[in-house]
Structure 1
Amino acid sequence: MGKTTQGPWMRRVIMALALGAALSACAPQFANHGYIPPAEDLDLLTVGVDTRASVEEAIGTPSTAGVVNESGFYYVRSRKRTFGALAPKTVEREVLAISFDSAGVVTNIERFGLERGRVVPISRRVTTSGVSNNGFLKQLLGNIGRFNPAGLAG
C-alpha cells in the first residue's frame, strides 16, 4: 500500500484548530468586582428619614465605611477587561456614597462614576450642596485594583 493523502489533510485540521484556539485566547475577558445595590432598592431609601440600621437592612452592608467620624457608607463596583496577554484595564467603576449626620440619619445619596479618569456624579439625592468627603471618594476610586492582600500578612 502506498502513501495516503491523510497527512496534508490532518496538518490542515491541526493548523485550523491551533488558529482557532489562538484567536479565542484573544477574546476579551471581563471580571466584575464589588456590589452596588439596584436602583429599585435605592428608591426605598428616604433622605432625612432612614438611619444607618435601616440602610443596612434595605440594601445590605457596605463594602467600605467612612473612616472619619463614621461619616458614610460606600458601595463600590468595578469591571475590568483583560485582552490576551495585556494587563487588565478598568473599563467601568462606580461608587455609591451614602452620608449620615451626627445622629445617624441619611443626608446624601450619591452615585459617582469614572469617565476618562475623572470622578463624575451619576445621580444625587442631597439635602446639602456638595460632598463632604470628596477627597476620600477620589482616593477610593483611584486606588481600586491596587489592593494587595499579601501586604496585610506582613
Structure 2
Amino acid sequence: MIHAKAFKIGLIATLALAMAGCTSIRQSRGYVVDALLVDAIQPGIDNQRSVEMTMGRPSFSSQYGAPTWYYISSVTGQRAMSSPKIRSHSVLAIQFDDAGKVVSTDRSGIDSVAFLLPDGDETPTLGRERGFLEDLFGNIGTVGAPGAGGAPQ
C-alpha cells in the first residue's frame, strides 16, 4: 500500500516536470510598447526632447532624409526543442521637421516585415567550378612553369 502511494506520487511528480518542459517561452525584444505613452505624442506640439522624455531613446534613427526615430518591438515564442517564432512585431516611426517638432507618427506591424529565405546551402561564386579531383591534382605541373611565378629559370 505504501509502495503504491509512493509510486503514484513519483508518477505525478514526473508528469508535472514533463509538462513543465513543454511550456512555451515568451520573450519581449526591443522597445516595450506602452499604448498610453504612444498615444500621448501629438504632432505639432511635441518635439524631440519631449518625445525622448516620454518614450526614451529610439531603437534607431534615420541617417538620410527627414529626421525619423524608430521604436521597434517584437515578441517571440518558443516551444521546447523548436526555433523561436515571431508572435507580434510593431514599428513606431516618429518623423520630425527641421526644427525638431513632431510631424507625424506611423505604426506598422508584422505585415510589413520582409522574410528572407536563403536559396540552398551554397554561396554562388563567379568563375569555373572545379571538381574534387581537379582541386586535388590541379596544381601539378604549374610549380616552376614559365610565367607561373615559380622558381627562376
Is the CA contact 2:59–2:70 (under 8 Å) kept in the aligned structure 1?
yes
Name the structure 1 match of 2:23. Answer: 27
Q: Distance in 2 between matches of 1:104 and 1:112?
A: 22
Is the CA contact 1:36–1:95 (under 8 Å) kept in the aligned structure 2?
no
Q: What is the TM-score when the length of structure 2 is the normalising length?
A: 0.63
CA, structure 1 residues 108+20, in 2 after alignment: closer, same or farther (shift >3 Å)? same
More strand by share: 1
1:41 equivalenced with 2:37 (yes/no): yes
Name the aligned partner's letter for residue 80 of structure 1. Answer: T
Q: Distance in 1 between matches of 2:79 and 2:35?
A: 31
Name the structure 1 match of 2:135. Answer: none
List gaps (5 residues or longer) in structure 1: 120-137, 144-154
CA offset digits 1:23-53 (Å, max 9, x no partner): 1211212111222553332333221332212
CA, structure 1 residues 53+70, in 2 after alignment: closer, same or farther (shift >3 Å)? farther
RMSD across aligned C-alpha pairs, in angstroms? 2.4
- Aligned partner of 1:90 among 86, 90, 109: 86
Identity of aligned residues (%): 27
Name the structure 1 match of 2:8. Answer: 12
CA, structure 1 residues 7+64, in 2 after alignment: closer, same or farther (shift >3 Å)? same
1:65 equivalenced with 2:61 (yes/no): yes
